[in-house]
Chain A
Amino acid sequence: MATPLELIDRARALAGTGGRADLERRLALVRERVGAASVRVLVVGEPKQGKSQLVNALVGAPVCPVADDVATVVPTVIREGAAPRAVLVHSGATGGAGDGRAAPAAEEPVERTPVPIESLSARTTRGADDDDGRHLVRAEVELPRRFLAGGLELVDTAGVGGIGTGHSLQTVDLLPSAHAVLVVSDASQEYTGPEMAFIRQAVALCPTVVFAVTKTDVHPSWRSIVELDRAHLRRQGIEAPLFPVSASLGILAVQHKDTELHAESGLAPLAEHLRREVLGRAEALRQRSTVHDLRSVAEQLTLSLRAELAALEDPAGNDALVEELTQARARVEELRRRSSRWQQMLGDGVTDLMADIDYDLRDRSRVLIREAEEAIDARDPGPTWAEFTEWLDERLATAVTDSYVWAGQRSEYLAEQVVEQFARDGGVVAPELDIGSPAEALGALVDVASMDDGFLPVRERLLIGLRGSYTGVLMTGLVTSLAGLAVINPLSLAVGVVLGRKAYQDDKAARRQRRQTEAKQIVRRHLDEVVFQVGKQLKDQLRMVQRTLRDLITDTVDELSRTLGDALAAAQRSTKAAAAERTARIRAVRAQLEVLDRFAKEVARLEAAPAALR
């Protein structure tokens, strides 16, 4: 059986012979899409649940760092390759925000350093910041494994949550780009509240979710934990498979070549599921859209040939055929004319959506500003500024991510509506929409401005006090000098001390107030900036969505109209042709139709076959 790629190439050749440059262009795009396919599976969960160990067991090599304390700080991407190879990806030396937020999606200069694969896990544990100030973004590993064949990509991520680890954002950022998510939790306990919150987020962001309960070797009661977890998922309305596994048994099984141990580890069903369901389904989806494209190309090519053939074979019925074709063409023209309807819907929808997103962002930022101001009022922001900005960053990232999820869902809904409105007969497949990831917007942000921590050296304090006491000493000194005392006398000095102290206290309070005002201003400015940047990014993305939809629909109309026009022209031409030419032409058209027929059959066979695992 021909592979999809071969079929696409043949279809391109056919479109070339048919003189249809537009169809050729479309096929070139399809080919690009199919060629560069990979299925990314994100392995996520709280820290210390055994994510890295599970990945190591799945690929059968110790590529991810495993330790008793938190080990994984940057994501490791593992894909198929001809030979074992590992690469560390650093962002540029100046690296912008060095706070672990620079996700791979952000476009910045990266440096790729190949390292020996044995030393990889040691290199990735050491922390995100290298000695020379470079910022480690991720590690990439290629392994010659059958399990990874066909474009399966495993991404081991840093744990979500945990103190002293700013990695969780990175993981959430990666979610929208993944085809599937493998949620890992260990058998020591059932799902907790925060875990469930994360699961809900993952399910909203990613179409396919698979669950794994790890460490079944050390926890005797793993069976009841698995049952409890399944029940929790059911209660949340999440229908997804859950696999109990033991990664350490799996690794031991490989070491000792023990098949029984391998069966006990429970890794086989998980790997099987990942390959068959996740990879297979992604493949099947891709195949279905490829088949759809191929078939529509074949049909369009066939249509004009058939019309010509019918006219050639039966000159008498030609008029009726021409009539029919003219009508069909008129219908398409009508569709094009009526485009205002769906275009208006699209325009309105996008405008609404933009307004909503703007409002949503402003609303979130208002809430955040209020909370921040309360916090600032409660205590002097100077000494705690670092903690405060950390908190602010965290809250901001969550808010922005939520906005993105929401915008993505809304625009998908809009696309569905528009496509439905456009063509109940057009057969347009809903396009893939990309809202982008919040990491892009967050990466573009500058850091929160720094602030004076309010510490004054003794010298300064003394000066302030002296300045205050000066007038006191002088005033009292002058008054008491009337009573015959010296200007500097004990009384004037005492007043000086009192006034100096007061001046210092006043100054301290004023400085604190100034810091609070300044902090509030910084927060407001920063949030303004965030709303502006994120709003702009989102709006750009929405405009892209609008453009994609519009182009898709107009292209379809154009293609349809062109096909019908060709068919009409062919039918008209054939009536005028001489008898001898006609016979030759009939033969040629028949031959071409036969080729197309064979091609259509192959496409059909491809559709019937389950997604081939290359």
Chain B
Amino acid sequence: MTAPPGGVQATTLVDDVRLLLDESLDAYRDDPDALPVLRAQRERLDEPLRIALVGRVKAGKSTLLNALVGERLAPTDAGECTRVVTWYRHGAVPRVALHPVDGLRRVLPVRRVDGALRLDLAGTPPEDVERLVVDWPTAGLAAATLLDTPGISSLDVGTSARAWELLDRDELPVADAVVFLTRQMQPEDLDFLARFQEATGGPGVHTTTITVLSRADELGAGRVDALLAAQQVARRMSGDPAVRARSQAVVPVAGLVGLAGRMLRHREFVALRSLAAAERADLEAMLLSADRFCRDDAPVPVSRELRVTLLERLGIFGIRLAVALIRTGVSDAGELGDQLVRRSGLAELQRLLTVHFLRRSAALRAATAVRLVERLLRERPVADAVPLWARVERLQIGTQELVELELLARSRAVDGPIPPEFRAEAERLLGAEGPDPADRLGLAADAPPEELRAAALTALDRWRARALDPLAGRPTVDACADLARSCEAVVATLDAAGSGAPAAQPAP
């Protein structure tokens, strides 16, 4: 029961859940409503994780999506752009399919303008489109399918409504995890996030939500240290109880700069280098405003067209940052690109996505499936439900990963089971920072196994003692016992690794 969390276990978990779904499909074979839902869930089990990007209109969802994929896929514009829910998933050949609200899906022509995909609804009004599905052969989408959504708070009531609609579908939740983009947290944004989370799962789904303070480069009016300022704002935001209750972490990201970093071309690098070589005063005067930078006459050997492209790609902040980096000695396009990705906050976001979502993707998908079957059993009871119930319960109680997820989800509620003074430690132990033993124990990644083992054993004793506290309430005792089991699992993993068996690697 306390098998180590890791690759071997993760696959068996998915197998267990698949078995559960197969049995449910059999039990519900006469129910025309439940069948498609279950079947879809069954298919989903083998698909990559779905991550939805949601947020206010013009929060930079499409730009961030492009930055995550590393390609200019989603169309972006100065005005409002994304008007229908668009799925971007990995596929062997480029293909765009339109799923209307009713009727058969149609395949649209794939057109690219300046490298960016041009999504044309071919005359279908946006309100009749359920979703667009873009298949694209790119490595950036292999690990997860990304969902681009229309913004809330749009002036166009229809667009805003489509964003809300996403939540009101009866069928299963569309996304396994949420990246919530915001520039200035407004009450309406939090409302939306709350609704979204209620629709996607049980209480406290903050475990599957990461808040991104987007367009972070615009905070300090494009100063080179804008991102430092943004980090401070993010810190204040994540301290807010209303935000904490809703999301796992808050990170500032300058999507545009990150995208530019990932797609930096040599030509652009050369242009930036000649900008950096120009007279400081001249360049400063040019970089005062976007208009000045694009003037016909400029004291730099870079053509106007190229400058306009640079501005489009990097923004004023990006150009200032790139020039500053080149002046400090960055000498080639690759290095500059890496630096831009790191400094834009994109790298940190990618790390968080990996830690929180991708490495736990099997458990997350399994949890969604188990919840679904449980709901079905509750809402539409079938004749021979007992074995199904038994299997559901065995999975819920017996699988340490699901127990951990569930406990994590409940930990930040107003009356959560874990006493506030232990909460941070408990969340880390449950894998909130990453599933590896070192992550869970809060030690450096290269800590020697003996140290890890010692730390795990101390933690185990600590949690066992807490579970025995006579004054603690029942939920707290249970939670502490679960946490003690997590410690045992960590010890078991370390033992397995130490005894020469291949170290358990988390599923990607």
Contact present for A196 and B232 (CB under 8 Å): no
Q: Which of B256-306 contact A (CB under 8 A)?
A: 288-292, 294
Least distance between B61 CB and chain A CB atoms (Å): 12
Contact present for A190 and B79 (CB under 8 Å): yes
Neighbour of A249 across the interface among B184, B232, B289, CB < 8 A: B289
- B residues within 8 A CB of A159? 184
Contact present for A192 and B311 (CB under 8 Å): no
Q: Which of B172-195 contact A (CB under 8 A)?
A: 183-188, 190
Least distance between B157 CB and chain A CB atoms (Å): 8
Given A163-B243, A218-B221, A224-B79, decide whether A261 and B288 contact each other with a Cβ distance below 8 A. Answer: yes
- A residues within 8 A CB of B80? 190
Contact present for B185 and A220 (CB under 8 Å): no
In the bound assembly, the distance between CA atoms of A264 and B152 in angstroms comes to 34
Least distance between A396 CB and chain B CB atoms (Å): 16
Q: Which residue of A lies closest to B242 (CB)?
A: A163
Contact present for B186 and A232 (CB under 8 Å): no
**Bitwise interface map of B from 72 to 90 toward A, beta carbon under 8 Å scored 1, else 0:** 0000001110000000000
- A residues within 8 A CB of B291? 216-217, 264
- A residues within 8 A CB of B317? 218
- B residues within 8 A CB of A196? 155
Check if A164 is an interface residue, CB within 8 A of chain B.
yes
Contact present for B288 and A193 (CB under 8 Å): no
In the bound assembly, the distance between CA atoms of A191 and B58 in angstroms comes to 10
Given A216-B289, A217-B288, A224-B79, decide whether A194 and B415 contact each other with a Cβ distance below 8 A. Answer: no
Check if B410 is an interface residue, CB within 8 A of chain A.
no
- B residues within 8 A CB of A162? 184-187
Neighbour of A69 across the interface among B160, B188, B232, CB < 8 A: B232
- B residues within 8 A CB of A228? 78-79
In the bound assembly, the distance between CA atoms of A46 and B186 in angstroms comes to 9
Q: Which residue of B lies closest to A394 (CB)?
A: B187
Q: Which residue of B lies closest to A66 (CB)?
A: B221
Contact present for A48 and B57 (CB under 8 Å): no
- A residues within 8 A CB of B219? 48, 68
- A residues within 8 A CB of B183? 48, 188
- A residues within 8 A CB of B294? 220
**Bitwise interface map of A from 172 to 189 toward B, beta carbon under 8 Å scored 1, else 0:** 000000000000000011
Least distance between B161 CB and chain A CB atoms (Å): 11
Given A217-B289, A228-B79, decide whether A194 and B232 contact each other with a Cβ distance below 8 A. Answer: no
Contact present for A218 and B222 (CB under 8 Å): yes
**Bitwise interface map of A from 234 to 278 toward B, beta carbon under 8 Å scored 1, else 0:** 000000000000101100100000000100100000000000000
- A residues within 8 A CB of B229? 68-69
Check if A215 is an interface residue, CB within 8 A of chain B.
yes
Check if A47 is an interface residue, CB within 8 A of chain B.
yes
Check if B169 is an interface residue, CB within 8 A of chain A.
no
Check if B316 is an interface residue, CB within 8 A of chain A.
yes
Least distance between B156 CB and chain A CB atoms (Å): 9
Least distance between A9 CB and chain B CB atoms (Å): 51
Neighbour of B414 across the interface among A220, A383, A458, CB < 8 A: A383
In the bound assembly, the distance between CA atoms of A190 and B77 in angstroms comes to 11
Contact present for B414 and A194 (CB under 8 Å): no
**Bitwise interface map of B from 448 to 471 toward A, beta carbon under 8 Å scored 1, else 0:** 000000000000000000000001
Contact present for B185 and A232 (CB under 8 Å): no
- B residues within 8 A CB of A161? 186-188
In the bound assembly, the distance between CA atoms of A224 and B79 in angstroms comes to 7
Check if B94 is an interface residue, CB within 8 A of chain A.
no
Q: How many residues of A contact B (CB 8 A)?
A: 40
Q: Which of B411-440 contact A (CB under 8 A)?
A: 414-415
Contact present for A164 and B240 (CB under 8 Å): yes
Check if A219 is an interface residue, CB within 8 A of chain B.
yes
In the bound assembly, the distance between CA atoms of A220 and B312 in angstroms comes to 8
Contact present for B221 and A215 (CB under 8 Å): yes
Check if B166 is an interface residue, CB within 8 A of chain A.
no
Q: Which of A48, A189, A218 has the most CB of B within 10 A?
A: A218
Contact present for B155 and A192 (CB under 8 Å): yes
Neighbour of B184 across the interface among A48, A216, A220, A248, CB < 8 A: A48
In the bound assembly, the distance between CA atoms of A46 and B184 in angstroms comes to 9
Contact present for B233 and A217 (CB under 8 Å): no
- B residues within 8 A CB of A190? 58, 79-80, 155
Check if A221 is an interface residue, CB within 8 A of chain B.
yes
Contact present for B240 and A163 (CB under 8 Å): yes
Least distance between B462 CB and chain A CB atoms (Å): 22
Check if A384 is an interface residue, CB within 8 A of chain B.
yes
Check if A225 is an interface residue, CB within 8 A of chain B.
yes
- A residues within 8 A CB of B57? 189, 192-193
Check if B491 is an interface residue, CB within 8 A of chain A.
no
Given A47-B184, A68-B220, A162-B185, decide whether A252 and B288 contact each other with a Cβ distance below 8 A. Answer: yes
- A residues within 8 A CB of B415? 383
Contact present for A69 and B240 (CB under 8 Å): no
Q: Which residue of A lies closest to B57 (CB)?
A: A192
Contact present for B58 and A193 (CB under 8 Å): no
Neighbour of B471 across the interface among A69, A219, A252, A458, CB < 8 A: A458
Q: Which residue of A lies closest to B156 (CB)?
A: A193
Check if A222 is an interface residue, CB within 8 A of chain B.
yes
**Bitwise interface map of A from 591 to 611 toward B, beta carbon under 8 Å scored 1, else 0:** 000000000000000000000
Q: Which residue of B lies closest to A220 (CB)?
A: B290
Neighbour of A193 across the interface among B153, B190, B243, CB < 8 A: B153
- A residues within 8 A CB of B186? 46, 161-163, 194
- B residues within 8 A CB of A217? 221-222, 288-291, 316
Q: Which of B136-182 contact A (CB under 8 A)?
A: 152-155, 157, 160
Q: Which residue of A lies closest to B317 (CB)?
A: A218
Check if B230 is an interface residue, CB within 8 A of chain A.
yes
Neighbour of A192 across the interface among B153, B312, B414, CB < 8 A: B153
Given A68-B229, A68-B232, A232-B155, decide whether A248 and B414 contact each other with a Cβ distance below 8 A. Answer: no
Contact present for B236 and A264 (CB under 8 Å): no
Q: Which of A46-62 contact B (CB under 8 A)?
A: 46-48
27 A-B pairs with C-beta separation under 8 A? A48-B183, A68-B220, A69-B232, A163-B185, A163-B240, A188-B215, A188-B218, A189-B57, A192-B153, A193-B155, A194-B153, A216-B291, A217-B222, A217-B289, A217-B290, A218-B218, A218-B221, A218-B316, A218-B317, A219-B290, A220-B312, A224-B78, A232-B155, A248-B221, A249-B288, A252-B288, A383-B415
Given contacts A46-B184, A218-B221, A218-B290, 4 further A-B contacts (CB under 8 A): A192-B154, A193-B152, A216-B289, A222-B290
State the A residues within 8 Å of B (CB).
46-48, 68-70, 159, 161-164, 188-194, 196, 215-222, 224-225, 228, 232, 246, 248-249, 252, 261, 264, 383-384, 458
10 A-B pairs with least C-beta separation: A189-B58, A221-B78, A217-B289, A68-B229, A220-B290, A218-B222, A192-B153, A193-B153, A224-B78, A163-B185
